[in-house]
Amino acid sequence: MDALLVLQQTLNGLQLGVMLFLMAAGLTLVFGIMDLINLAHGSFYMLGAYLAAWLTGLLGAFLPALALAMLLTGLVGILVELTTLRRLYARDHLFQVLATFGLILTFNELIAVLFGVQPIFASPPPALSGQVTLLGAPYPAFRLAIIAVGALTALALWWLIARTRLGMLIRAGADNREMAAALGVDVARLYTLVFALGAALAALAGAMAGPILAVRIGMGEDILILTFVVIVIGGIGSIRGAFVGALLIGLVDTFGRAFLPALLGAAGTSLASMAIYILMALVLGFRPRGLFPAPA
């Protein structure tokens, strides 16, 4: 029984981890390559969740809705980059924080106008709404699907970054922006593309989160802090760091919540909610630039 519980909690941890990875991958690219602190990354997550939930109702099928939600959110990302963020690259981080915080408020109110203030309905597609029996214990099928989607996305991103021309440009941009620009890379267009990719990944995370979480205004801010913890632990600008960091956070958080309260009582409850921040402090103590720092 205990081994079974550990297995289930490991799956739970992995599932939380890949969800965080989908968010962190986009955020770390934007932060690392464009040197832009984007607090509104969570808004793309919320937008993805709302669009996927709404389109699922409209189209009657989850997968096309998911694809369309990613596409639309990517387009919104392009629009935001062109109209707002482009003016902020040269500015201090404080301006970026202010402007992207403004974007959060704008998106929250936009959602209120479009969908109303009450949370909206989202459920897993019928084929994934049941449970799968793993070693005799039921486990929600949709959570397994999240793990699969996250793993596939990680592979696809690795391929994109390591094996394609666009990936080469992204790596060049992350390593040395000025040099890449001097060698004729259209950095402005690269930035727009990277930002749209990040927005679409956040939308994927939101669309996959919709069926298990509340699709509501402010849902993006809930996950944003954890996402920042992930990229700080992983090393800013590193996809591999984001992957390892996200899984670490997912597992540590889940195991902390699952087992510490039973071991330590009320102190365990408090310790469990601090566990990931303790982890972050430890990692930063030994590796101040994260586990996989992008080369300076």
Of residues 211, 237, 245, 290, which one binds another protein by CB under 8 A? 211
- Minimum Å distance from CB 152 to another protein? 21
Confirm or reject binding of residue 251 to another protein (CB under 8 A): no
DSSP designation for 292: S
Q: Which is nearer to another protein, 168 or 213 (CB)?
A: 213
- Minimum Å distance from CB 157 to another protein? 23
Of residues 59, 63, 117, 127, which one binds another protein by CB under 8 A? 117
Kindly give, in sequence order, each residue whose CB lies less than 8 Å from that of residue 178, ignoring residues fewer than 6 positions away: none
Confirm or reject binding of residue 261 to another protein (CB under 8 A): yes
Task: Please give the Cα distance from 296 to 286 (Å, whole number).
Answer: 18
The Cα diameter of the chain in Å comes to 61
Q: Is 93 exposed, middle or buried (0-12, 13-18, 19+ CB in 10 A)?
A: exposed
User: Which of 53, 13, 5 has its CA nearest to residue 219?
Assistant: 53
Confirm or reject binding of residue 130 to another protein (CB under 8 A): yes
User: Which of 245, 182, 184, 206 has its CA nearest to residue 31?
Assistant: 245
Confirm or reject binding of residue 42 to another protein (CB under 8 A): no
Contact 143, 11 (CB under 8 A): yes
Confirm or reject binding of residue 16 to another protein (CB under 8 A): yes
Confirm or reject binding of residue 223 to another protein (CB under 8 A): yes
Q: Which is nearer to another protein, 34 or 229 (CB)?
A: 229
- Minimum Å distance from CB 275 to another protein? 11
Of residues 31, 142, 195, 243, which one binds another protein by CB under 8 A? 142
Confirm or reject binding of residue 218 to another protein (CB under 8 A): yes
User: Which of 165, 156, 200, 160 has its CA nearest to residue 185?
Assistant: 165
> Cα dihedral angle (43, 45, 49, 51), rounded to 10 degrees?
60
User: Which of 206, 245, 269 has its CA nearest to residue 53?
Assistant: 206
Of residues 140, 237, 241, 245, which one binds another protein by CB under 8 A? 140
End-to-end CA distance of the chain: 48
- Minimum Å distance from CB 129 to another protein? 7
Confirm or reject binding of residue 164 to another protein (CB under 8 A): no
- Minimum Å distance from CB 251 to another protein? 11
Contact 46, 105 (CB under 8 A): no
The residues of the shown chain that bind another protein, judged by CB under 8 A, are 1, 5, 8-9, 12-13, 15-16, 108-109, 112, 117-124, 129-131, 137-140, 142-143, 211-219, 221-223, 254-255, 257-258, 261-262, 269, 273
